[in-house]
Structure 1
Amino acid sequence: MSAELGLGEARGPSAGEGPASYRRIASLALPALVVLAAEPVYLLIDTAVVGHLGAVPLAGLALGGTLMGLAPFIGAVLAYGTTARAARRFGAGDRAGAVAEGVQGTWIALAAGLAMIVLVELFAGALTAAMGDSPAVAGAAAEWLRVAILGAPFLLVAGAGQGWMRAVQDTKRPMWFVTFSFLVSAALAPILVYPAGLGLVGSAWANVVAQAIAGSLFVAALRRERVSLRVDWPLMSKQLVANRDLILRGSAFQISSFSATAVAARVGTAALGAHQIGMQLWFFAALALDAVAIAAQALVGADLGADRPAAARASARRVTWVGLGYGTVFMLIVLVLLPLLPRLFTDDAAVHDQLAHVWPWLVVMLPLAGVVFALDGVLIGAGDLRFMRNMTLIAIFSGLPLTWLTLVFGWGLTGIWAALAVSVLVRLALIMWRMRSGAWIVTGAERV
């Protein structure tokens, strides 16, 4: 067991192993769930804390948080890109090579995080002003963003660290690292916002503290590994190529998110506040559902790296059923909590009215998302990144016209959330077709 968790001289899975059992999927997915849920839970707490400051600070958090979303997006790219390459090496019996992928991912993370700080500090005001019509909301968002961005290097380093740890099938240490850091931050946020009198900016400082703690813990874990910590330019260049398709894919998601927030801002301040609450719940569910995808990345990547295509197929089938069941459970939880959720986040009656347009779409999408995200993990583990890129671009740009037509026809949040549902349905259709084709199955220590 210590080898599986990456705590000893672990080797990749032997060639004779069969497909992952449901128990093995759960042993990887459940710790990953805690990691993935930690940040959105903090963001939900943050939204609730800020929401009681009033509609303008809540809307400012919505604008600033959307722009800050670029950092976790890049962190996810680094995590998934590292896992996609490192899991195959682990499956082929080269654990040191898998960890070396994490070293280069960490250097990329540091560089990207520092670049983000420079850009945001220079252009925060212009960016938030372009996103919304209200100068008060834009000013609040810029003030929050200039502080929150200071945590970007740490957040990205944590993403790279999760990537190589998942690849060597160690999801327990990331669970403890992230849980500890966000517990500290969740306790700190209300103190800084209210008793300390920092208001909206206090939530940003709490966010930075969490990211600094998590990033430092992942760096310490990497230093304990017996691999070189130097920059390896040839290996780094391969990672950048692998990340290219994930970046383009993630950029499409960011365009969709920015567009939805910009349109919601033009519908009204109450609509923007309701959209912020709905999107934080959606992000929470999406990231939590992604726990199954993380298990799939590690298991399918290792199966293909060890030249076990039949085991990879069987693991993919089991992951699909787990994802569907998982998404259905989330749907039922939301339905049960629906009467309580609006007042948990804000007392503003206008925001409550706008939330009524969000709930039906959120509930319907959850089971579908469970399948989509699980199979995303299968294809990322297989290194089928070019298809992932193309599928996402098609899906996002299928729904995006509905978002913008909302401004013309006055559909409000119904139009914005219908567009998101269309994107999810298109992704589901395309990814099911890809799975049936078998074109994703390519064996070997490195996908060519």
Structure 2
Amino acid sequence: MEIDTHVVEGINNSSCSEHHNIMAAFQKGKDHVKNTFVYCVEGFRNVFKADDVGLEIAHIALPALIALGAEPLASLVDTICIGRLGSIELAAVGVSVAVFNLVSKLLNIPVLNLTASFVAEEASGPTIDNHELESCADSLYADDQRLVAPAKDADLYMPKMVDEKRVLPAVSTALLVGALLGLVEFIILAAGSEQILTIMGIPRGSSMEEPAEHFLQLRAVGAPAVVISLTTQGVFRGFKDTKTPLYATAIGNVLNMILVPFFIFFLDYGVTGAAAGNVISQYLTALILLFKMSRNISLIPPKLQDLNFLGFVKYGGLLLIRSTATMLTMTLATSEAARQGVIPMAAHQICMQVWLAASLLSDAIALASQAIIASALARGLYDVAKDAAFRSLKIGCCFGLLISLLLLGFSMVGLSKIFTNDLQVLAFVSLGLPFVIATQPINSLAFVFDGIHFGALDFWYAAKSMVLVAILASMTIFLAARVMGFVGIWIGLSSFMALRMLVGFFRIGTASGPWKFLR
């Protein structure tokens, strides 16, 4: 049987050509990853340059930074006051706070981030989803290699007005979803407090059981206020308005810092007084935000069919998965500390409050990048989205380093002694503080990447990657806690944030998903 040599040559040429294309694509991907990382780190001397992107980030982030700083400050005041009651009360409240955060943030954070992204899009124009971004990114390049926005008739996309108030379906939908979630959270926390605390490592008859249960049941009353407050903050963030939430949260947190010590020390209400102060301040904040929003935005849409439940269900489910993975990992760390006893749990509560108070300040940069990127991508301004993403990462890195230096300085003058005088607790705190200080730049970048993902509606990747990260980090916490005790818990928490940062770099570094236009 004769074989046509031309056919063989054709096959060989085709095979070589295909192999060449694969290698070229692989090399192109490697070059892109390298160039992306170089772009991330270069130009740090211009990180605070006062150009359009820099000024917009500052305009959004600075008020948000103050507002976000007020809440952790109020939590620190609570911890200081409760710490004066004793190690048992401090440990009990630490577990209760972890439970409240697990149930409330598990459901609230998705609503907050969806509301901010949806409002930013509705206020800017129609949504361009991830599939559209991937399919048309290459064709959007102009001759000067800058991405240009598709032409749109601005009048067609202006939000409707009713009685001189803007009508945005995302606002009405978010408020309704928030109200329902608040009711669900109240029922779960109030009715199931005893069972939940037992699962968390506080056995029946423990000295921590009674104060923990009283605190959690009363905090449950404030759950609806927390949801509505976060929902309305998401609306203002969507409009790039962080000043209004600043005023409202500042008033609420100042009231909290007055009421908590008053109820604890003057009225002798103990941990119940701390919970009462929290609840009152939360309802005040929610009412202020609702009142301010209702002056310019219609809270009830003219037509019920305008409500966007499909979008909240579609993306909310993904963010619920993500929040579940995040909170379960954090709760596992608290549970492991509680199982080690009152002293380690009290120390863990102090370290956790300082860690979160410092780290969550980076959310100001994250929400600025989220609002700018969501608005830019809705209008097809891909160059603006790119600049906002990389600039916010650089600012976040610098901010994290600054926080580390500040915490290092405070720890050298006895930061932990502010919370308690118990020498045993302070000994454990000294083991956790190095991790709290060293991880701040990592934490800051991780939070900024969250804002970048949410701004690009990259909820699928945010959820999928977080599940993987949470599994790996939870395994580390579980195993390290049994080998190294208290230190092992903080090794696991540090790995959790490091992995969150790395998956963020991977998404942008490979220019995949909604970031395919970076190629």
- How many angstroms does 1:233 deviate by? 7.1
- How many angstroms does 1:286 deviate by? 2.3
- Quote the residue 1:11 is aligned against: none
Percent identity over the alignment is 23
1:439 aligns with 2:512: yes
- Quote the residue 2:234 is aligned against: 163
- Quote the residue 1:103 is aligned against: 172
Larger CA Rg, structure 1 vs 2: 2
Give the Cα separation in 1 of the matches to 2:306 and 2:96: 35
- Quote the residue 1:446 is aligned against: none
- Quote the residue 2:144 is aligned against: none
1:129 aligns with 2:189: no
- How many angstroms does 1:323 deviate by? 0.5
Give the Cα separation in 2 of the matches to 1:284 and 1:340: 17
Q: 5 Å matches for 1:291-310? A: 291-310=364-383
- How many angstroms does 1:413 deviate by? 1.7
- How many angstroms does 1:94 deviate by? 4.1
Cα deviations by residue, 1:122-151 (Å, 9 ceiling, x for unpaired): 111111122124522122111100001111
- Quote the residue 2:350 is aligned against: 277
- How many angstroms does 1:314 deviate by? 1.1
CA contact (8 A) 2:66 2:246 kept: yes
- Quote the residue 1:12 is aligned against: none
**TM-score, with length taken from structure 2:** 0.79
CA contact (8 A) 1:379 1:440 kept: no
- 84-93 or 192-201, larger mean C-alpha shift: 84-93
CA 1:259 to 1:222, structure 2 compared with 1: closer, same or farther past 3 Å? same
- Quote the residue 2:300 is aligned against: 229
Of the candidates 496, 499, 502, which is equivalent to residue 423 of structure 1?
496
1:254 aligns with 2:287: no
Of the candidates 453, 463, 467, which is equivalent to residue 389 of structure 1?
463
Gaps in structure 2 of 5+ consecutive residues: 1-50, 126-156, 161-165
Of the candidates 363, 376, 381, which is equivalent to residue 290 of structure 1?
363
Aligned to 1:346, the other structure's residue is in SS state coil
Aligned to 2:495, the other structure's residue is in SS state helix
- Quote the residue 1:243 is aligned against: 316
- How many angstroms does 1:206 deviate by? 0.4
- Counterpart of 2:498, as a letter, is L
- Quote the residue 1:54 is aligned against: 86
CA contact (8 A) 2:403 2:440 kept: yes
Give the Cα separation in 2 of the matches to 1:157 and 1:91: 24
- Quote the residue 1:199 is aligned against: 270
CA contact (8 A) 1:101 1:235 kept: yes
CA contact (8 A) 2:263 2:270 kept: yes
CA 1:379 to 1:298, structure 2 compared with 1: closer, same or farther past 3 Å? same
Gaps in structure 1 of 5+ consecutive residues: 1-18, 444-448
- Quote the residue 1:16 is aligned against: none
Q: 5 Å matches for 1:18-417? A: 20-69=52-101, 70-92=103-125, 94-95=158-159, 99-133=168-202, 135-227=206-298, 229-230=300-301, 234-338=307-411, 339-409=413-483, 411-417=484-490
- How many angstroms does 1:232 deviate by? 5.0
Aligned to 2:266, the other structure's residue is in SS state coil
CA contact (8 A) 1:85 1:383 kept: no
Cα deviations by residue, 1:255-313 (Å, 9 ceiling, x for unpaired): 11221111101112111001101111111122211100000011000110111111111
- Counterpart of 2:111, as a letter, is L
**TM-score, with length taken from structure 1:** 0.91
Give the Cα separation in 2 of the matches to 1:23 and 1:349: 47
- How many angstroms does 1:89 deviate by? 2.1
CA contact (8 A) 1:294 1:377 kept: yes
Give the Cα separation in 1 of the matches to 2:278 and 2:169: 29
- 276-285 or 133-142, larger mean C-alpha shift: 133-142
- Counterpart of 1:39, as a letter, is E
- Counterpart of 1:190, as a letter, is P
CA 1:324 to 1:73, structure 2 compared with 1: closer, same or farther past 3 Å? same
CA contact (8 A) 2:373 2:455 kept: yes
- Counterpart of 1:379, as a letter, is H
- Counterpart of 2:256, as a letter, is S
- Counterpart of 2:108, as a letter, is G
- How many angstroms does 1:388 deviate by? 0.5
Give the Cα separation in 2 of the matches to 1:333 and 1:108: 40
- CA RMSD in angstroms comes to 1.9
- How many angstroms does 1:35 deviate by? 2.0
CA 1:144 to 1:88, structure 2 compared with 1: closer, same or farther past 3 Å? same
Give the Cα separation in 2 of the matches to 1:405 and 1:341: 30
Give the Cα separation in 2 of the matches to 1:55 and 1:228: 46
- Counterpart of 2:70, as a letter, is A
- Counterpart of 2:57, as a letter, is I
- How many angstroms does 1:408 deviate by? 3.4
CA 1:136 to 1:20, structure 2 compared with 1: closer, same or farther past 3 Å? farther
- Quote the residue 2:133 is aligned against: none
Give the Cα separation in 2 of the matches to 1:375 and 1:287: 13
Give the Cα separation in 2 of the matches to 1:107 and 1:252: 25
- Counterpart of 2:74, as a letter, is Y
- How many angstroms does 1:31 deviate by? 0.8
- Quote the residue 2:29 is aligned against: none
Aligned to 2:241, the other structure's residue is in SS state coil
Cα deviations by residue, 1:64-121 (Å, 9 ceiling, x for unpaired): 1001113244332211111122212222254558843122111111111111111222
- Counterpart of 2:435, as a letter, is W
- Counterpart of 1:257, as a letter, is M
- 328-337 or 390-399, larger mean C-alpha shift: 390-399
- How many angstroms does 1:334 deviate by? 0.3
